[in-house]
């Protein structure tokens, strides 16, 4: 095939840092630090704070706000609220803040979608948003974004990010749907006699505060272990479903979706974004990603319309296992569909009438060719053509090599594979074999631009590169 690697690479940049709350120990340790800072002379507090602000405001937006947020987090943990001046409060916040380098390990596993704003572009150009998996200290992964343009000649330009990176706190008054929440409790085997009175106090749409109040209203006078376990499970489920909102003046390339809930405490991995079109013509962006807590990988769903406000929700059902779920860009036959590998080995087609619940599956492709005999999976959401759905795939072969291939699925019945590649489409060349995980090329989603596919791909789990292929050439090989 006429597949062309583009002369563009996005390496990891250890200078991209965010701030995180830093609490070195429990409440007694926090109180001890507060006391020590409280003994500093006012002049020392003023000079230290001025130096810190001057140094770190070049690295972060509104560092004073960051210090105040960290201070509030720390004193909430301590259980006390000391009577201190504004300057001392800010300085204390600095003691309870740390920097985290998002990309100190790698920047990889990209997906590309059309940008919500396609105005003021040259003829034949498309603006895109690209998600990337950033991996930093402790190998914790988060989602970063880049923007750019594919021009009429299929050249790719990625906009340089600003010097800042910004996280968002969960929205405090986010609403939960009680019906979906109850279904998920049932899947967790947590819809029991202790849950019934708590749920009875909740409205059809409730907030975390509503849930906390209902739990406290039902808490027995004497401590009961089973009730405490039930309350912890119900709160864990609520905290795994949350909303993020970034300030409107923060560019997309600054926005970082960093782990928030316990289920993703060790990382957010491999977001597969897709621009989804409803039957009525409305569009939204969805992404499946893998939440990892150090022990278990759990598929989750992101929803946004503008890449500023994000809803994060658990996915439910017997097919929600393992990694690599990729949503189709529209309903097919009136149903939502996903390509998935919930058994860790084969590609399945999942169908559902509810985007949050997945119980129906059909095996559509198993390891077949020498370069994929260990396992196969998708490389992002299927791409629609007049001749069928192009599903980019990855196969794992000898020496744990990851190579990229493709399938062609029937347009009206995607459970039918009507074409496949007998040879891989993209193989690591000599310049791509070395990195954090050697011998890997991998993508989380390509962009169709006119008569070409633009494929961003990871280079040995270390950095990101790009290739393009004419759609007609790929279809011709798939039909063979």
**Calpha distance 308→61 (Å, rounded):** 16
Q: Which tokens hold the place of 303? A: 């929803």
Comparing 240 with 449, the larger pLDDT belongs to 449
Q: Which of 18-22, 93-97, 264-268, 361-365 has the lowest mean pLDDT?
A: 264-268
Residue 89 has a pLDDT of 95
* β pairing state of 383-385 and 388-396: antiparallel
Comparing 325 with 175, the larger pLDDT belongs to 325
The residue-averaged pLDDT of 445-470 equals 97
- Does residue 262 have a pLDDT over 90? no
Contacts with 365 (C-beta within 8 Å, 6 or more apart), sequence order:
346, 347, 376, 393, 407, 417, 420
- Does residue 82 have a pLDDT over 90? no
| Per-residue pLDDT band at 458 (split at 50, 70, 90) | very high
| Per-residue pLDDT band at 221 (split at 50, 70, 90) | confident
Among 359, 380, 219, 395, residue whose Cα is nearest residue 287: 380
- Does residue 261 have a pLDDT over 80? yes
Residue 322 has a pLDDT of 81
Q: Which of 200-214, 218-232, 362-376 has the lowest mean pLDDT?
A: 218-232
Residue 299 has a pLDDT of 86
Q: How many CA atoms lie within 13 A of 366 on its CB side?
A: 3
> Cα torsion for 173, 177, 182, 188, to the nearest 10°?
-70
99-158 pLDDT, tens digit each: 999 999 999 999 999 999 999 999 999 999 999 999 999 999 999 999 999 999 999 999
Q: Which of 59-68, 315-324, 338-347 has the lowest mean pLDDT?
A: 315-324
The residue-averaged pLDDT of 235-245 equals 89
**Calpha distance 449→128 (Å, rounded):** 10
Q: Provide the mean pLDDT of the chain.
A: 94
Q: Which of 319-328, 379-388, 407-416, 457-466 has the lowest mean pLDDT?
A: 319-328
Percentage of the chain modeled with pLDDT above 70: 100
28-67 pLDDT, tens digit each: 999 999 999 999 999 999 999 999 999 999 999 999 999 9
Residue 247 has a pLDDT of 93
- Does residue 223 have a pLDDT over 80? no
Residue 297 has a pLDDT of 77
Q: What is the three-state SS of the chain? A: CCCEEEEEEECCCCCCEEEEECCCCCHHHHHHHHHHHHCCCHHHHHHHHHHHHHHHCCCCCCHHHHHHHHHHHHHHHHCCCCCCCHHHHHHHHHHCEEEEECCCCEEEEEEEEECCCCCCCCCCCEEEEEEEEEECHHHCEEEEEEEEEECCCCCEEECCCCCCCECCCECCCCCEEHHHHHHHHHHCCCCCCCHHHHHHCCCCEECHHHHHHHHHHHCCCCCCHHHHHHHHHHHHHHHCCEEEECCCCCCHHHECECCCCHHHCCCEEEEEEEEEECCCCCEEEEEEEEEECCCCEEEEEEEECCCCEEEEEECECCCCCCEEEEECCCCECCEEEEEEECCCCCEEEEEECECCECCEEEEEECCCCHHHCCEEEECCCCEEECCEEEEEEEEECHHHCEEEEEEEECCCCCCCEEEECCCCCECCCHHHCCCCCCCEEECCCCEEECCEEEEEEEECCCEEEEEEEEHHHHHHHHHC
Q: Which tokens hold the place of 116? A: 């919500």
Burial code (b: 16+ CB inside 10 Å, e: under 16) for 375-389 equals bbbbbbbbbbbebbb
The residue-averaged pLDDT of 426-434 equals 96
**Calpha distance 384→276 (Å, rounded):** 12
Residue 81 has a pLDDT of 85
Instruction: Output the pTM of the full model.
Output: 0.91
Percentage of the chain modeled with pLDDT above 90: 82
Residue 240 has a pLDDT of 84
**Calpha distance 231→237 (Å, rounded):** 10
Give the total residue count for the chain.
480
Q: Which of 114-118, 246-250, 298-302 has the lowest mean pLDDT?
A: 298-302
Asked if 389 and 412 touch (Cβ cutoff 8 Å), the reply is: no
- Does residue 212 have a pLDDT over 90? yes
Starting at the edge strand that comes first in sequence, how are the strands of the sheet with 141-150 ordered?
106-114, 126-135, 141-150, 156-158
């Amino acid at each position: 095939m006429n597949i062309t690697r583009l002369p563009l690479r996005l390496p990891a940049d250890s200078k991209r840092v965010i701030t995180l709350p830093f609490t070195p120990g429990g409440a007694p340790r926090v109180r001890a630090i507060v006391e020590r800072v409280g003994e500093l002379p006012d002049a020392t507090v003023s000079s230290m704070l001025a130096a810190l602000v001057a140094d770190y405001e070049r690295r972060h937006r509104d560092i004073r706000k960051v210090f105040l947020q960290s201070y509030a987090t720390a004193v909430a943990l301590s259980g006390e609220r000391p009577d201190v001046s504004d300057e001392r409060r800010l300085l204390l916040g600095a003691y309870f803040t740390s920097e985290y380098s998002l990309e100190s390990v790698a920047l990889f596993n990209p997906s590309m979608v059309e940008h919500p704003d396609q105005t003021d572009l040259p003829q034949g150009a498309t603006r895109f948003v690209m998600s990337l998996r950033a991996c930093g200290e402790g190998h914790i992964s988060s989602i970063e974004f880049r923007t750019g343009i594919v021009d009429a000649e299929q050249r790719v330009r990625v906009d340089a990010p600003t010097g800042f990176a910004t996280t968002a706190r969960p929205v405090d008054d986010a609403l939960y749907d009680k019906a979906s929440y109850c279904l998920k409790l049932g899947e967790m085997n947590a819809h029991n006699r202790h849950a019934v009175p708590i749920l009875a106090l909740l409205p059809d749409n409730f907030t975390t505060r509503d849930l906390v109040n209902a739990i406290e209203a039902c808490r027995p006078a004497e401590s009961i272990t089973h009730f405490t376990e039930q309350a912890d499970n119900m709160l864990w489920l609520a905290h795994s479903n949350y909303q993020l909102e970034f300030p409107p003046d923060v560019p997309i390339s600054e926005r970082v979706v960093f782990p928030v809930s316990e289920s993703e405490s060790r990382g957010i991995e491999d977001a597969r974004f897709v621009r989804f079109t409803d039957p009525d013509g409305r569009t939204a962006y969805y992404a499946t990603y893998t939440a990892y807590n150090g022990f278990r990988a759990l598929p989750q769903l992101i929803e946004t319309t503008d890449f500023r406000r994000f809803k994060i929700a658990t996915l439910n059902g017997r097919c929600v296992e393992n990694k690599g779920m990729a949503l189709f860009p529209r309903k097919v036959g009136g149903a939502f569909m996903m390509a998935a590998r919930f058994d860790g080995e084969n590609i399945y087609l999942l169908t559902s009438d509810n985007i949050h619940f997945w119980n129906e599956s059909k095996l559509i492709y198993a390891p077949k060719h020498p370069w994929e005999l260990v396992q196969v999976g998708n490389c992002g959401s299927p791409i629609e053509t007049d001749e069928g759905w192009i599903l980019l795939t990855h196969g794992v072969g000898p020496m744990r090599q990851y190579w990229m291939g493709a399938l062609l699925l029937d347009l009206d019945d995607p459970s039918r594979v009507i074409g496949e590649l007998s040879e891989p489409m993209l193989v690591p060349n000599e310049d791509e074999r070395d990195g954090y995980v050697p011998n890997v090329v991998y993508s989380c989603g390509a962009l169709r631009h006119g008569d070409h596919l633009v494929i961003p791909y990871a280079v040995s789990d270390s950095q990101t590169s790009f290739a393009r292929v004419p759609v007609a050439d790929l279809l011709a090989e798939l039909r063979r």
